[in-house]
Structure 1
Amino acid sequence: MKHKILVVDDEPSISLLLDFNLKQAGYEVRCVSDGEAVFGELRTFRPDLIVLDLMLPKMDGLQVCRKLRGEGNQVPIIMLTAMQDLSDKIAGLDNGADDYMVKPFSPQELVARIQVIFRRLRSLPPEGEQQPLQFGEIRLCPVRREVTVRERPIELTPKEYELLLFLCRHSGKALSRQQLLQGVWDYHFLGDTRIVDVHISHLRDKIERNARSPEYIKTIRNVGYKLSEPAAHPAQAAR
């Protein structure tokens, strides 16, 4: 069965270009030209991934991302932006996008990134890595891609989940941002590692008791990040 991709862009030339290249790559594609149309397509087309322009009529890309994630919809989103300003890229990630590309971009590179996302989503872990992982109060089930923290289910985007899983499988090791890019995203960002920092911030908001004073995901100065076993809380120690 073909994966379905929803392209949301109000520039006809971009939509036509993406429609052609994505269909050539074997995907089923539908194009819409404004943000509000996304929510109708979710019911009828049911996309497996959304390519979403930042600047859109009726509802911009940030608003679309924010609404989707607020409703618990974790469909992968690649944000397109004509802005070179880093703050615009970060705004997309902050509102729930998994990745971004700056216009003008290579359609072949977009196809490659989409293939990476789908490959990672459908691949089962090796048999020896299918057992649930317990790290402090964090529990991951790799087969079902489920996470609980303090026995409560946590909703993570696909990239947030993959980042947490990668950190757990390399717990105790200081990992550079470049190592995290290669291990989680499978490609390079030409030195732009801010995407890692944004996803780490999102993870901390969801799993830490206090994101400003994290117990689990520690910042290693001049290096990157490390997942550390937290000290036992009084309630835990009393058990």
Structure 2
Amino acid sequence: MPDTIKILLAEDEPSLALIVKESLETRDFEVIVCTDGEEALQRYAEEIPQLLVLDVMMPKIDGFAVAEHIRKTDKKTPIIFLTAKSQTKDVVEGFQHGGNDYLKKPFSIEELIVRIYALLNRVGGTDTQNQEDEINIGSYIFNPTKQTLTYKEDSEILTHRETEVLKHLYKNKNEMVTRSFILNDIWGNDDFFSGRSLDVFISKLRKKLSADPAVQIINSRGFGYKLVC
């Protein structure tokens, strides 16, 4: 990733836009603020940002339409939607229009920043699986392709979901990954039942990684998980 990350923020509520802009700038992001969807498309073409944060309900062109237009030529740049809509169908619609994450208003700035870092890491060349099949996690060897976790001479097969969850945690090792991000990326939603399912897989992974005390999955209750190794 480049030293200075350029983020396009499209938000028609001036006070919220200012808070988000100033908070991101304290993390050394460069922030381009737009107040409607038409301006967002114009500035996107001019500035080529590394990530977009789009309010869904905007004048002229809404956030979903902006994302859909961008996805015709750009499949890679991460997009986070901001919206007061909270129903599952609204979240699903956001992903169908090309969004990578979905943050419901009101939200904490810290949560937004965590999600931004997580998405940038995914597209910034930190996916070790693309470089090698075997990943060292403490004393364990994790092979995402074969879906195996090996400790010394003992190897066990992981389920597809266990593999996907561990991949997400490893990509962002030593950093907090939000529950919502994992759920939406793997399950396609972050409803109650998917959340309970995620909790089960986290418990299983903790047990399978318990032989090495230097490896831990830390839980921030109600927020997310961090793989420490």
Q: Deviation digits for residues 96-151 of structure 1, max 9, x if unmatched?
A: 1001111000001111111122233324455x9526x8xxxxxxxxxxxxxxxxxx
Q: 2:197 — aligned with what?
A: none
Query: Quick check: 2:76–2:123 contact (8 Å CA) kept in 1?
Result: no
Query: Quick check: 1:52–1:79 contact (8 Å CA) kept in 2?
Result: yes
Number of aligned residue pairs: give it. 166
1:72-87 to structure 2, matched below 5 A, reads: 72-87=74-89
Aligned-residue identity in percent: 28
TM-superposed deviation, 1:191: 10
- Which secondary structure state, in structure 2, belongs to the residue aligned with residue 108 of structure 1? helix
Query: Quick check: 1:81–1:89 contact (8 Å CA) kept in 2?
Result: no
1:170 maps to a residue whose letter is Q
Structure 1 counterpart of 2:147, from 159, 170, 182: 170
Structure 2 counterpart of 1:52, from 21, 34, 54: 54
**Does residue 13 of the first structure (1) align with residue 11 of the second (2)?**
no
1:60-75 to structure 2, matched below 5 A, reads: 60-75=62-77
- Which secondary structure state, in structure 1, belongs to the residue aligned with residue 110 of structure 2? helix
Q: 1:130 — aligned with what?
A: 131
1:96 maps to a residue whose letter is G
Q: 1:30 — aligned with what?
A: 32
* Gapped regions of structure 2 (runs ≥ 5): 134-142, 149-156, 190-199, 202-229
- Which secondary structure state, in structure 2, belongs to the residue aligned with residue 36 of structure 1? helix
TM-aligned CA distance change 1:192 to 1:59, over 3 Å: same
TM-superposed deviation, 1:10: 0.6
TM-superposed deviation, 1:14: 1.1
Aligned partners of 2:98 and 2:85: how far apart in 1?
A: 18
TM-aligned CA distance change 1:40 to 1:175, over 3 Å: same
Aligned partners of 1:195 and 1:90: how far apart in 2?
A: 11
Structure 2 counterpart of 1:184, from 153, 165, 168: 168
TM-score, length basis structure 1: 0.60
CA RMSD of aligned residues (A): 3.1
Query: Quick check: 1:182–1:188 contact (8 Å CA) kept in 2?
Result: no
Aligned partners of 2:120 and 2:69: how far apart in 1?
A: 23
Q: Which has the larger displacement, 6-15 or 67-76? A: 67-76
- Which secondary structure state, in structure 2, belongs to the residue aligned with residue 104 of structure 1? coil
1:86-235 to structure 2, matched below 5 A, reads: 86-126=88-128, 130=131, 168=145, 170=147, 173-176=158-161, 180-181=164-165, 183-184=167-168, 187-189=177-179, 193-198=183-188
2:187 maps to a residue whose letter is D
Query: Quick check: 2:5–2:30 contact (8 Å CA) kept in 1?
Result: yes
Q: Deviation digits for residues 156-184 of structure 1, max 9, x if unmatched?
A: xxxxxxxxxx964638742337x635533
TM-superposed deviation, 1:16: 0.4
TM-score, length basis structure 2: 0.62
1:175 maps to a residue whose letter is H
TM-aligned CA distance change 1:49 to 1:129, over 3 Å: closer
TM-aligned CA distance change 1:174 to 1:75, over 3 Å: same
TM-aligned CA distance change 1:192 to 1:183, over 3 Å: closer
- Which secondary structure state, in structure 2, belongs to the residue aligned with residue 101 of structure 1? strand
Aligned partners of 2:98 and 2:40: how far apart in 1?
A: 15
Query: Quick check: 1:36–1:59 contact (8 Å CA) kept in 2?
Result: yes
* Gapped regions of structure 1 (runs ≥ 5): 134-165, 200-221, 224-239
TM-superposed deviation, 1:44: 1.9
